[in-house]
Structure 1
Amino acid sequence: MPLESIRTLVKADLESTDRFIISQLESNIPLIRQIIEYVLTCGGKRVRPMVLLLSARALAENVQKHVALAAVIELIHTATLLHDDVVDSSTLRRGHKTAHTIWGSDASVLVGDFLYSRAFQVVVDLKHQPILDIFAKATHYIAEGEILQLVNCNNPDTTEDFYFEIIQRKTAKLFEIAAQLGALLSTESDRDIIAMRDYGLHLGLAYQLIDDALDYGLSVEQTGKNVGQDLAEGKTTLPLIHAMRKSKGADLAMLREAIATGSSENLATILGIIESTNAIKYTADAARHHAQKAKSALSHLALTPYRRALEELSDFVVERTY
């Protein structure tokens, strides 16, 4: 099922979420409005809020507070994008110029902070202690993931285990709490809440694995970001880890040197090494493994259209090309 069909199932909720986001971002400071408007209209897929909305509705037809929490998830995601693009010096995201290349790094970081603080205000206003606890721990955990990635930049000795620790913190955690909070709004069943939490975790891992595979597999027109951008940023992602494991001699030396210096100088040769070592297939297979684990986590739940959509979302995540 394409993403549009999945989105249709929670179309009204997503529209309410967008309206709620806009209502929460009122500010009499024009710069804040300009940057947020720009980032929110640059073609985000809204996958994370969709996960929360589908999870909530898969366990109960009538739910409250789900729109506010879906908005919170998107606000946090948008804040991390603003911060990430500054840290990574990225010039393109979703085929558009990144905010910091237009307004500068200082403005991007500060508007990201504004979004974070607004998200916390919304959660506090819900007056729901378990939700606040999960949210507070998760944002701390996500920030740690970003810092772990930063200190590990330009390290060709990154292990596969360490790579998974980074992506679990930096990407999968937000998917995990989106699904977990959706469940928490709908049920008191620990079994169902844990099932949704596990679904979100594995979906998030699959999502990041495919992102990392796409970085070496497709053109800027297809992905909306520069090919080999991870390499230029010194990020040792799974395609590179696998390619190094399968290489020796001059090829291995070239890969290690490129990571250590963050250089795309030999990108064409490096792409050839990645292809010849089946590193993209290895990464995509790992993504499929986690997508299957995401689906399996839902196996005991009632087979509603919302559960089916969650399963189909895990298929979309591994089949996507953007």
Structure 2
Amino acid sequence: MTAEVIPLKPRPSEPSLGPIMALTAPGMNAVNQVILERMQSEIPLIPALAGHLIAGGGKRMRPMLTLAGAALLEYGGTRHHKLAAAVEFIHTATLLHDDVVDGSDMRRGKAAANLIFGNPATVLVGDFLFTRSFELMVEDGSLKVLKILSNASSVISEGEVDQLTAQRQIETSEERYLGIIGAKTAALFAAATRIAAVVAEKSEAEERALEDYGRNLGIAFQLVDDAMDYDSDGSEMGKAKGDDFREGKMTLPVILAYARGSEDERAFWRDAILGHRSGADDLAKAVDLIARHDAVSATRDRARHYAQRAIDAIAGFPANEARAAMAEAAEFAVSRRF
């Protein structure tokens, strides 16, 4: 199954995260304070390792979506601050675990935590952050929020395992790939946005609209991440270029290039994905084949389709600053180079 590509409507200037960052800045200050407090421990290694990743930057997209959703619904309380921190802890925990599984060297432009602190400590601190996230959910007291975020955590884990089993499997289909990224990335985007409607005590329809926004944005975001592994500089991405290639990950650029390639090209991809061709020259050839078959362009086109679906999902809400900022964030997700 392939997605029908719907073009984004053109805008007069380059989209940015500026509007959503400005919208959520006061709330993010409160969220960052919760994060700082809850990552502390009497065991010095825990805040040191957690802080290495958390203080390393990142866009904080997921907690920003919780805050932006609350602003869209004109929620005036503060419950969403702790929940946004819980969302970021879930995300950070998955990143720590991912870096161990993938054997990553870089994360957010600096050495991955597992290289500095070792794999056992990195996994265990990831577990610590998961427990902190659930403490925050319990403190909130909403069983519905707990159900949404715990289910997202379960789906993310399933997606990561599915990606692991698809690794080095050249016959991985586009449909399966979309299922993987829908689980490992989009599930948390969807949950982060939906819980804003729960704390604002809005209708099920409004919950679903925000959930649809988050899920489609998450898919667009991951599609662009996977495209950037083949068409961006490593310094822009904050990780080594070609990591997906060396790890034998079947992302959409590879799936499309393989499907569109000659038999000789397919033979190259079979060897490469099995790990027999993973040197610098092999990566250069992979990039060339992907460009030759417009696989990155096609991947970005699909990302635009999902970004437009995200924008359409919130079209029924009143036109306000928050809706405009969320729409521009979706446009930024597909135009970004980092």
Q: What's the TM-score bracket when you normalise by the shorter of the two chains?
A: over 0.9
- Alignment of 1:70 onto 2:84: yes
Give the conservation status (yes or no) of the 8 Å contact 1:222–1:321.
yes
Partner of 1:88: 102
Aligned to 1:269: 285
Structure 1 residue corresponding to 2:184, chosen from 145, 151, 170: 170
Which 5+ residue runs of structure 1 have no aligned equivalent?
Answer: none
Alpha-carbon contact 1:57-1:63 (below 8 Å) kept: no
The one of 197, 208, 216 equivalent to 1:183 is: 197
**What's the CA shift for 1:64?**
2.9
Partner of 2:323: 307
1:211 paired with 2:225, answer yes
- Counterpart selection for 1:148 from 148, 162, 176: 162
Hey, what does 1:56 align to over in structure 2?
Answer: 70
Counterpart secondary structure, 1:111:
helix
Does the Cα contact within 8 Å between 1:48 and 1:73 map onto a contact in 2? yes
2:311 is aligned with 1:279? no
What residue ranges of structure 2 are gaps of 5+ in the alignment?
Answer: 1-14
Residue pair 1:56, 1:66 contacting (<8 A) in 2 also: yes
More displaced stretch, 88-97 vs 253-262: 253-262
Secondary structure at the counterpart of residue 179 of structure 1: helix
- Following TM superposition, by how much is the alpha carbon of 1:263 offset from its aligned partner in structure 2, in angstroms? 3.9
Aligned to 1:241: 255
- Partner residue of 2:60 out of 43, 46, 49: 46
Aligned length: 322
State the SS of the aligned residue for 1:313: helix
Displacement of 1:256 in angstroms is 1.5
Letter in 1 for 2:318: A
SS at match of 1:302: coil
1:201 aligns with 2:215: yes
The aligned runs of 1:110-129 (5 Å cut-off) are: 110-129=124-143
Larger mean CA deviation between 185-194 and 34-43 belongs to: 185-194
Q: Which runs of 4+ in 1 moved over 6 A?
A: none
Between 133-142 and 65-74, report the one with greater CA deviation: 133-142
- CA distance in 2 between counterparts of 1:304 and 1:48 reads 21
**Percent of pairs with identical residues:** 39
1:203–1:80 Cα change, 3 Å: same
* 2:253/2:295 contact within 8 Å kept: yes
Which of these residues, 11, 26, 35, is aligned with residue 40 of structure 2?
26
Matched, 1:320 2:336: yes
1:95 is displaced (CA, Å) by 1.1
Is this contact kept in 1: 2:168–2:250, CA < 8 A? Answer: yes
Give 1:262 deviation, angstroms: 6.5
Q: CA RMSD in A?
A: 1.0
Whether contact under 8 Å (1:76, 1:116) holds in the other structure is: yes
Q: Partners in 2 of 1:215 and 1:209 — Cα distance?
A: 10
Asked if the contact 1:56–1:63 (Cα under 8 Å) also holds between the matched residues in 2, the reply is no
Which residue of 1 is the match for residue 11 of structure 2? Answer: none
Quote the residue 2:175 is aligned against. 161
TM-score (norm: length of structure 2): 0.93
In 2, Cα distance between the equivalents of 1:239 and 1:259?
A: 13
Contact 1:295/1:314 (<8 A) preserved = yes
